[in-house]
Amino acid sequence: MRTYLYALLFACCCLLPFTAVYAQKAEKLLQTANAHFDNYNYTQAIATYRDILLLDNLLEAKIKLAECYRLTADFAQAEYWYKQIMPLVADPVYKLRYGQVLQSTGRYAEARVLFAEYARLDPWGEQLVRGCDLAMGTLSQPNADHQIVPLMINTAGSDFGAIRYANGIIFCSDRRNTPDQAGAASLNLGGNYLDLYYSARLFEGYEEPQKLKGKINSAYNDGPANASPDGTILYFTRNVNYKKEGGGIKLGIFESRSQADGKWGDGTAFQHNNTAYSLAHPTLSADGQNLYFVSDMPGGFGGTDLYICTKIDTFWSQPINLGATVNTPGNEMFPFLHPDGTLYFASDGLPGLGGLDIFQTQRTAGRWAMPRNMGSPINSFRDDFGLTLTDTKADGYFASNRSGGFGSDDLYYLRILSLQPNIDAPVITFTRSDLEQNNVINERLNMAPLRFKAGEWTLLTEMQFELDKVVKFMNNTPYLNIELAAHTDSRGDDYVNLEISQKRADAALQYIYRQGIQPARMKAVGYGETQPIEGCYNDNPCPDELYDRNNRLEVRITEIGGTTITPPPYLSPAPYLPPPPPDTLALDSLSMLLMPDTLAVNPLDTLPALQFKIFIGPYKEINNTLYFTFAELNTPMDMQNTDKGMMVVLGPYATITEAEQYQQYARERGAKNSTINPYTNDGTLYAIPTKKLKKMGLQ
Report helix angle 108-119 to 124-135, nearest 10: 160
Query: Is the pTM above the cut of 0.85?
Result: no
pLDDT digits (tens, 9 = 90+) for 246-274: 777 899 999 999 998 889 999 999 999 99
Please tell me the predicted confidence (pLDDT) of residue 585. 44
CA-closest candidate to residue 111, choices 91, 124, 97: 97
Q: C-alpha angle 308/309/310, rounded to 5°?
A: 125
The CA dihedral of 662, 668, 670, 673, to the nearest 10 degrees, is 50
CA-closest candidate to residue 616, choices 680, 687, 666: 666
The CA dihedral of 435, 438, 440, 445, to the nearest 10 degrees, is -70
The amino acid at residue 354 is: G
Q: Assign 3-state DSSP to the chain and report helix, strand, coil percentages, each to 5.
A: 30, 25, 45
Give the whole-angstrom CA distance, residue 83 versus residue 72. Answer: 17
Q: Are 178 and 222 in contact (CB under 8 A)?
A: no
Query: Which DSSP symbol is given to 537?
Result: B
Residue 210 predicted with pLDDT over 90: yes
Q: C-alpha angle 516/517/521, rounded to 5°?
A: 165
Spatial CB neighbours of 593, under 8 Å, sequence gap ≥ 6: none
% of the chain at pLDDT higher than 90: 32
Average pLDDT value for the chain = 84
Give the whole-angstrom CA distance, residue 133 versus residue 453. Answer: 18
The amino acid at residue 476 is: N
Give the whole-angstrom CA distance, residue 282 versus residue 333. Answer: 10
Give the whole-angstrom CA distance, residue 522 versus residue 630. Answer: 54
Give the whole-angstrom CA distance, residue 409 versus residue 155. Answer: 9
Please tell me the predicted confidence (pLDDT) of residue 203. 54
CA-closest candidate to residue 392, choices 461, 349, 342: 342
Where do the structural domains in the chain lie, given as residue ranges? Answer: 22-140, 146-416, 432-564, 589-695
Spatial CB neighbours of 50, under 8 Å, sequence gap ≥ 6: 65
Residue 297: pLDDT band by 50, 70, 90 thresholds?
very high
Please tell me the predicted confidence (pLDDT) of residue 182. 38
The CATH homologous superfamily to which domain 146-416 belongs is: TolB, C-terminal domain (2.120.10.30)
pLDDT digits (tens, 9 = 90+) for 467-508: 988 988 888 887 889 999 999 888 888 888 899 999 999 989
pLDDT digits (tens, 9 = 90+) for 420-433: 444 444 567 777 78
Please tell me the predicted confidence (pLDDT) of residue 302. 85
Please tell me the predicted confidence (pLDDT) of residue 426. 53
**Cα within 13 Å of Cα(478), Cβ side:** 6
pLDDT digits (tens, 9 = 90+) for 76-129: 898 899 999 899 998 888 988 999 899 888 888 898 999 898 888 888 888 888
CB-count burial class (<10 Å; 0-12, 13-18, 19+) for 596: exposed
CB burial of 197-220 (b: ≥16 within 10 Å; e: otherwise) equals: bbbeeeeeebeebebbebebbbbb
Query: Which DSSP symbol is given to 138?
Result: G
Tell me what the mean pLDDT of segment 399-416 comes to: 87
Question: What is the CATH number assigned to the segment(s) 589-695?
Answer: 3.30.70.1070
CA-closest candidate to residue 92, choices 50, 136, 124: 124
CA-closest candidate to residue 445, choices 414, 477, 492, 416: 477
Residue 543 predicted with pLDDT over 80: yes
Residue 21: pLDDT band by 50, 70, 90 thresholds?
low
Residue 22: pLDDT band by 50, 70, 90 thresholds?
low
Tell me what the mean pLDDT of segment 403-415 comes to: 86
Q: C-alpha angle 477/519/324, rounded to 5°?
A: 115
What length does the chain have?
Answer: 699
- 395 pairs with which residues across the strands? 415
Residue 96 is inside which H or E element, if any?
A: helix 93-103
Asked, colleague to colleague, whether 22-140 and 146-416 share their fold, the answer is no
Question: What is the CATH number assigned to the segment(s) 432-564?
Answer: 3.30.1330.60
Task: Name the more confident of 12 and 382.
Answer: 382
CA-closest candidate to residue 174, choices 150, 200, 195, 190: 195
CB-count burial class (<10 Å; 0-12, 13-18, 19+) for 326: buried
The amino acid at residue 69 is: Y
* SS3 category, 225: strand
Give the whole-angstrom CA distance, residue 573 versus residue 534. Answer: 6
Spatial CB neighbours of 5, under 8 Å, sequence gap ≥ 6: none
Please tell me the predicted confidence (pLDDT) of residue 184. 40
* SS3 category, 481: strand
Residue 557 is inside which H or E element, if any?
A: strand 553-560
Largest CA distance in the chain: 109
Task: Name the more confident of 272 and 143.
Answer: 272
Phi-psi region of 647 (alpha: psi -120 to 50; beta: other; left: phi over 0): beta
Classified by CATH at the fold level, domain 22-140 comes out as 1.25.40
Q: C-alpha angle 218/220/222, rounded to 5°?
A: 70
Q: Are 252 and 201 in contact (CB under 8 A)?
A: no
Please tell me the predicted confidence (pLDDT) of residue 223. 92
Residue 292 predicted with pLDDT over 60: yes
CA-closest candidate to residue 538, choices 572, 495, 490, 493: 490
- Within a 10 A sphere around the Cβ of 330, how many other Cβ atoms? 22
- Within a 10 A sphere around the Cβ of 169, how many other Cβ atoms? 23
pLDDT digits (tens, 9 = 90+) for 156-204: 889 999 999 988 899 999 987 444 443 343 344 445 789 999 998 875 5
